[in-house]
A = this chain, B = another copy of it.
């Protein structure tokens, strides 16, 4: 471990209680973005962040772009060691999920409590606690009289939990403020393999295509005795169409579906074999057995293969008991998760073409596209991945694991498509932190680990 870093880590140890106090101040603001009743609290959280950034002498902007404010704070040139240093964009969010059901919380969700070495509050892990890890890492440089090893821009939004509606506009209109060489996000989890939690760099995410397929049939609900067998029942026909989406190997039958998919390399396969992936825990804990595309392991299916899921079915009689109705419509929510290099726009077009080519009698489709997101994949041999690995090894004594994620973080795709940035996702959550649930919490030791890793990351990136 290099000595300059050690001084920062020592400072973070010494200042830990103050850092926890600052985090708790932020956690006490009920910045629930989805509920208009909390609108002034959301604004208060934005102001709190801005004030903290201003106190650090960052160039701070509270942008009003139609929704909740977006806070952008940039290091000034005077704060940075080397004008030619890399430019890091750190993204996070200061808004939180609603706390309900309130009665299941042991303590009030916006009165942070410390016990058992954890802080309990809504937002402790997702994402206020993780945002503050990066902020404390920056602060450790400035508080110890050092310059920053990188140019840093903080982009902290207030609508992540309600769809990041305003953010794309900000990315477009303020691209100059956000110019950077890479993006860092702390809104994910550590890798939890058979050997316990380990720091991880997530280098790839699957993208998404989501459709509502509504099939309209007769002009009104009909009696299935009077009409059964004589006309196209949209619920029956819809099920038949959905059934044809898959072959017997659980492969999607849409022509060209797999054409652009990046092949899994032997190197990645070999690396994944060393991760200690606990399939029994992953599937067994939700009462399931492995099932999916023939020829691939569970981890490969999760990270490197596309999936297609029916997320919802509706139509006709959905209550208890029996009603002999031929419904006038039926619908399905259908979504795809697509790894690199599949193109959501191309898939959406192919899917619509496929759907419309099916025999549905005289029924009529109403197709609604509810979202597309590109997959992202930062090359594992990129210098940024290398620098981040070194940084984490500097703090923990061993390199982080390199993992993918099956889920989608649309904003990360936006950073790639709109700002041209690769993103390193370095998160310190655990699946057991109860994010989006009652009694959300975050271990103080993990908070400190995150502060230290980000301090090391800035140093390591700065040396590139």
Q: Does A354 contact B (CB under 8 A)?
A: no
Bound CA–CA A298/B361 (angstroms): 14
Question: Chain B interface: which of A17-25, A98-106, A108-116, A215-223?
Answer: A215-223
A327 lies within 8 A of B311 (CB): yes
Within the assembled complex, what's the spacing in Å between the Cα atoms of A315 and B330? 12
Contacts of A238 in B (CB 8 A): 239, 313
- Cβ-neighbour of A310 out of B288, B293, B309, B330 (below 8 A): B330
Contact between A322 and B333, CB atoms less than 8 A apart:
yes
Q: Range of interface residues on chain A?
A: 35 or more
Does A78 touch B at the CB level, under 8 Å? no
**Chain B contacts of A226 at CB under 8 A?**
302, 405-407
Contact A311 B235 (CB under 8 A): yes
Instruction: Report the separation of the CA atoms of residues A324 and B235 in the bound assembly, to the nearest whole angstrom.
Output: 22
Contacts of A335 in B (CB 8 A): 224, 228, 322, 324
* Chain B residues within 8 Å of A218, by CB: 286-288
| In the complex, chain B residues whose CB is within 8 Å of the CB of A220 | 286
Q: A386 to chain B: closest CB distance in Å?
A: 27
A313:B239 contact, CB within 8 angstroms:
yes
Q: Once the chains are docked, how many angstroms separate the CA of A217 from the CA of B289?
A: 10
- The answer on a CB contact under 8 Å between B291 and A230 is yes
CA distance A294 to B330 in the complex (A): 24
Closest to A287 in B: B219
Q: Is A175 an interface residue (CB 8 A)?
A: no
Q: A218-B286, A230-B291, A231-B286 are in contact. List 14 more A-B contacts (CB 8 A).
A: A225-B406, A227-B406, A228-B309, A230-B298, A230-B406, A236-B308, A239-B239, A239-B310, A240-B242, A289-B362, A318-B318, A322-B335, A323-B333, A324-B335
21 A-B pairs (CB sep. < 8 Å): A206-B225, A210-B322, A210-B324, A219-B286, A224-B337, A227-B286, A227-B302, A227-B406, A229-B301, A229-B309, A230-B283, A233-B310, A235-B309, A235-B312, A236-B309, A239-B242, A239-B332, A240-B243, A313-B314, A321-B370, A324-B335
